Each structure stands twice: as C-alpha cells, then as structure tokens.
Chain A
Amino acid sequence: MSKVRLLVGTRKGAFVLTSDGKREKWDVSGPHFAGWEMYHLKGSPVDPNRLYASQSSGWFGQIIQRSNDGGKTWEQAGNKFLYDGVPGTHQWYDGTPHPWEFKRVWHLEPSLTNPDEVYAGAEDAALFNSTDGGQSWTELSGLRKHGSGPHWQPGAGGMCLHTVILDPSDAKRIYIAISAAGAFRTDDGGQTWLPINKGLRSQQIPDQDAEVGHCVHHIAMHPSRPGTLFMQKHWDVMRSDNAGDSWQDVGGNLPTDFGFVIDVHAHEPETIYVVPIKSDSEHYPLDGKLRVYRSKSGGNEWEALTKGLPQKDCYVNVLRDAMAVDSLDSCGVYFGTTGGQVYGSSDAGDSWAPIVRDLPAVLSVEAQTLA
C-alpha cells in the first residue's frame, strides 16, 4: 500500500510525518537537529530514501545533512559554500554597495535523475551544485555574475535564492527565483542565465519594466507542462505559458493577491493553490480566516477552501516553501504555518485536518509518495 512522508522544516528542528495512503493517522518523528533552523528538506525523486536537509544557525552557520534511510538516521555532508572568485557587491537596503556574504541555504533541489546530485539555493543569492551527495559544492556563478548582480537587493527576509525548479523535459533548463531580484532561467545547465520577469509589475521599484528587482516569493510547475509556470509574487499571482518569457496576472477574484506559497495539483496541471495573506505589512490571513484558494482554470477564477480550517482568530502565515502535494490518486495537499500547524487534505483541498498543531514555526513542507 502506498505511503506518504512529509518532510517538515521548522525554526527549531525537523520533523518527519508518515501515513498510509488513507492519510488519516500520522506518525510524527522528531525533532531532528533539535534547536536548529531547518530551512528545507527534500528527497531524491529517484531514491526517495535519500534525503537532503539544510540545517543552520545564527551562531554556528550552515550544515548540510543527508539521510539514506528516509530520515531515520543522518550523516553530515559538506558545508563549504564558497562563492566563485571575488564575490563583489550587491545593493544593500539603503542602496549602497554591500559585499556578497554567504549566510545559509534556503532550498535544496535533488536532481531528477541522480541521487548524488543536488542544487542548493543560498543567501546571499547564489546557486550551488553538488554531484557527490552533498560532500562538495560548486557555485554556478554565471547566475551571480549576470550583469544585473550589483543591482540585486535583499527582500525583508534577506537576499535569498529560494526556488529551484528542474525541467523534466530538458536537463539543461533550470528556473530559479530570488527575493528581491526576480526569476531567472538557464538553458545551458547553469552557465548563462536570462532574467524572466517581463510582465511583472512591482510598485516598490520605480521602473515598472525593470529587468530585475521584483520580489518573487515562489514559483511552481507541473512536470507534464514544463513551459507553464505559476508565480506568487510579493503582490500578484502570475502565470507564464512560455517558460517565463512573459507573465500575465491571474489573481482574478482573490480577496488579496499577496502571499508566499503556490503549488499545482499532482494530476491536474491547471489546478493551482495559494494562501492569500492580508498584505506585505500584515502577514496573516484576511479577517482571521485561514483559507486556501484553489483555481481549476489555471488562475483568474478562484474558490475558497475552508472546510476544516480555522475561520476565526487565525493570524498565522504560510511561508514560501511550506506547501506541497502528494501524487496519490486523490491528490493530497499539505501546508505548514508559522503557528506550528501542519494541515493536510486528502481530497485535493475540499476538506482539511490538522496533522500536527504545535510544532515550532514551519519553514518548509515537502511531500513524498512512497510505494
């Protein structure tokens, strides 16, 4: 019988939640790496028991952990993240030049074909690659050395590269997103990069057609349609049907189009999910009601999903990497909150139930569907 495993990163450790295919009862394992910030954990698509985890601390820096048994045991991998060459400067919050400084890994994206290959999205923004199971890391510096690099600026959470999407139809195509530089694409395996931000509009930058400077919060793609991307920007929910060459606003009837997460149904590439957040200065749901919004038309027309979610006095946030879907026949959808709840739906969002309620603030959720 199929199983589902959720990998949950929190501010104070990692948790592994497992259930059978019914997804009614869950076992909770953790905290792993208790007391550390676990920004992200993700499993290899070709070897689901090979997991990678980003463990970090303001005191002790960055650690990478690796598991070969689905998170039961872990071993420390390499943590030598050095920028290629002289890092140079980007813009600081006040507009002055600021040296590139490595702080942490926000996102780990295992290769689609090789369990020993993994990408790491870092703050200050850079993309690293390992082909030896995380033991050693090499920066794909063509991104940071894109001519716009000196103009990139941090968002409120830091200048983080938080999204890495590998194109299943083209091994050399990778999408990434940076707050607050925008989205970029490589078509040559990471040597050269193209900003893909046409159509984005951001009131926070003076030039509405600026090549970079947009605060992209997250991007999602369905593997069957690698040229179609969905984006939750700072404000605005956007869609591209040409691999990011241009974007259209598909916020439609959302009550607010600010938010962090966005994801795509496992079997319906036009069914997408967001969690609207009140505003950039009030990071909680509108009216104290935690509502997932689902569009079955790829955007523009949205329905509120509320069954089983708190509809009063709820003031949590859902951060950018904290939503995931499983691939069982009835698609499971999961998200974690800054209040420490992980909610799950085994019916594609029609109804929800808390899996756990009192974890530390959730930073990330990934779902694995296991045979």
Chain B
Amino acid sequence: MIRVELPMHLRTLAGVKGEVTLDVPGAVTQRSVLDALEAKYPMLCGTIREYGTLKRRAFLRFFACQEDISHTSPDALLPEAIATGKEPLLVIGAVAGGI
C-alpha cells in the first residue's frame, strides 16, 4: 500500500482527509503512483500533471524520505520506504507567494 500526502486544496477536490492510500501494481515510480492516484481520484487529473504532456505542474514538488525528487525521472524507482508504505510520498505546493 502506497501512502500519498496531498496539499489541502487537492484533498478538498478529492474529498479526502489526511493521507490517501493506493494500490500500485508493479514498479513503484512517480509515474505509476500518479497513474494510480488519478485512477482512484479522477478529479485530480490535470492538477498535478498537465494533460497531454503529463509533465509535473511547475509549482508542485514531490518529496520522498526528506529528498526533493521533483526533477528525477518519472520512471525512476521510488525509495524502498515509499514502496513499502513506511513513508508517504509528499505532493507539495512550491513556496511561491503569488498575489
């Protein structure tokens, strides 16, 4: 079971409180986790990854085990602690104050 922690606005869209848990078949990567997340919560499509390109939206970050993995390949294996559910994958809104 994979654990994912979402920012508040995405939890509101998905109608969840706290972490979400996902079954991720096969290799546990950014891509497979996000595929599973969007399959379970289709209202999140387009909010983390752009439609079409599936690129991470510019002001979102992915943290795993105290590391920023936002710029690693989406097909790289995530750390063992994420794959086993010991630690959550964090989806973080980047520090960008805006207006």
- Interface of A toward B, CB cutoff 8 Å: 11, 35-36, 57-63, 76, 79-82, 102
Contacts and interface: CB of A to CB of B under 8 A. Distances in A.
Contacts of A36: 9
Interface in B28-77: 43, 45-48, 50-52, 57, 59-60
A132 B43 CA distance: 17
Given A35-B9, A36-B9, A76-B13, A59 B46 contact: no
Interface of B: 7, 9-10, 13, 43, 45-48, 50-52, 57, 59-60, 93-94, 96, 98-99
B9 A61 contact: no
Contact of B59 (A35, A58, A82): A58
Nearest to B10: A60
18 contacts: A11-B99, A36-B9, A57-B9, A58-B96, A58-B98, A59-B57, A59-B93, A59-B94, A60-B9, A60-B57, A61-B47, A61-B57, A62-B46, A63-B47, A76-B13, A79-B45, A79-B47, A82-B52
A293 to B, nearest CB: 28
A280 B13 CA distance: 38
Contact of B51 (A11, A57, A81): A81
Contacts of A76: 13, 43
A80 B51 contact: yes
A102 B59 CA distance: 15
Contacts of B48: 60
Contact of A60 (B47, B52, B98): B47
Contacts of B52: 82
Contacts of A61: 46-47, 50, 57
A251 to B, nearest CB: 31
A79 B59 contact: no
A58 B59 CA distance: 7
Nearest to A83: B52
Contact of B60 (A11, A35, A59, A80): A59
A103 to B, nearest CB: 11
A128 to B, nearest CB: 13
Given A58-B98, A59-B96, A61-B57, A80 B9 contact: no
Contacts of A57: 9
B57 A80 contact: no
Contacts of B10: 60
Contacts of A58: 59, 96, 98
A62 B13 CA distance: 12
Nearest to B48: A60
B11 to A, nearest CB: 11
A102 B52 CA distance: 11
B9 A59 contact: yes
Contacts of A35: 9
B83 to A, nearest CB: 26
A58 B60 CA distance: 10
A65 B9 CA distance: 14
Contacts of B94: 59
B8 to A, nearest CB: 8
Q: What are the 5 A-B residue pairs with the smallest beta carbon separation, nearest first?
A: A60-B47, A59-B59, A59-B93, A79-B46, A76-B43
Contacts of B13: 60, 63, 76
Given A58-B96, A63-B13, 13 more contacts: A35-B9, A58-B98, A59-B57, A59-B60, A59-B93, A59-B94, A60-B47, A62-B46, A76-B13, A79-B45, A80-B45, A80-B51, A82-B52
Interface centre among A36, A57, A59, A80 (most CB of B within 10 A): A59
